[in-house]
Amino acid sequence: MFSYRHGFHAGNHADVLKHTVLIAALQHMAQKETAISVIDTHAGAGLYRLDGDFANTSGESKDGIARLLDTPEEELTPALRAYVQAVRSVNQGKGVKTYPGSPFITQSLLRPQDKLRLFELHPADWRALDGNMSQLDAGKQVEVLLEDGFNGVKRFLPPPSRRGFLLCDPSYEMKTDYGRVISMMDDALVRFSTGTYAVWYPIIPRQDAHDLPKRLKTMANKAGKSWLHATLTVKSSKLRSEVNDYGDTGAAKRPGLPASGMFLINPPFTLRAALKEALPQMQKLLAQDKNATHTLEFGE
């Protein structure tokens, strides 16, 4: 079964894509004074130790955020530089041992008038999230909810200010998540047609994953909404055989997550240019084999 509990994959290439997009979008939206309501449907624990048990199990951050941290900031594109600075901001000194998930990244970008609502259904992650966010002393600005985010968002749409950003990045461990994303987005566009919606998804050999961005594109076009679709591939998804110390070939194994995508409806108009510049650098810095690539599509 495909597993994507946040803690095991903190700081990997998918987080680089997702959080770079998140920061670029929110920075643009914050240029207007009107309050922004931000909703995170699958918030996770909020903070992750890169030297902890979960992250060490996969070691994926070494091929993700660590590669960017090894690159001089002045050589990074503005979007990637902002992302690296957000990660460094939760760490003291030169080293980076803690990775901020989307709740901490988002909260760091909030202004006094903005609101953040975090949904998390996993009991252990919810307790960790609640404890981690309480450190920020954000008061009523941040609300941590032990609820199913797919359903919970309904009562917060539309927000009073009529300006909102929703991030949806479920684990997709259950095949029904793909359909629930579509149902939630369809309902959200009826309730709040001008909101900015961002959906992260894994690019894996599964028909549901292949169809998700197509269905979102069809939905956006039918609603007459602009959209943006960015993908990052860092390696081949083909099965590979491992050779032991004796030269024996073992059973074929599929590598970890090879690629992921971000699909946005009503994206900030500046995001396309930011990603057009950042994606080639992501591909170059995060490539794990010759199959690394990226795509950027958009519709008006």
Q: Is 169 annotated as a binding residue?
A: yes
Q: Is 294 annotated as a binding residue?
A: no
70 tagged catalytic: no
- Which is the catalytic residue, given 40, 63, 125, 169? 169
Dihedral, CA atoms, 127, 152, 21, 113, nearest 10 degrees? Answer: -90
In single-letter form, the type of residue at position 177 comes to: D
**Rounded distance between C-alpha atoms, residue 13 and residue 146, angstroms:** 28
**Rounded distance between C-alpha atoms, residue 176 and residue 199, angstroms:** 15
35 CB-contact burial (10 Å; exposed 0-12 / middle 13-18 / buried 19+): middle
Q: Is 210 annotated as a binding residue?
A: no
Residue 220 to residues 66, 190, 276, 295, Cα–Cα distance (Å): 35, 12, 21, 19
Q: Is 42 annotated as a binding residue?
A: yes
Q: Is 130 annotated as a binding residue?
A: no
Q: Is 277 annotated as a binding residue?
A: no
Q: Is 89 annotated as a binding residue?
A: no
Q: What is the 3-state secondary structure (H, E, C) of 16-36?
A: HHHHHHHHHHHHHHCCCCCCC
Specify binding-site residues: 19, 42, 102, 120, 148-149, 169
Q: Which amino acids are annotated catalytic?
A: 169
Question: Residues annotated as binding site for S-adenosyl-L-methionine?
Answer: 19, 42, 102, 120, 148-149, 169
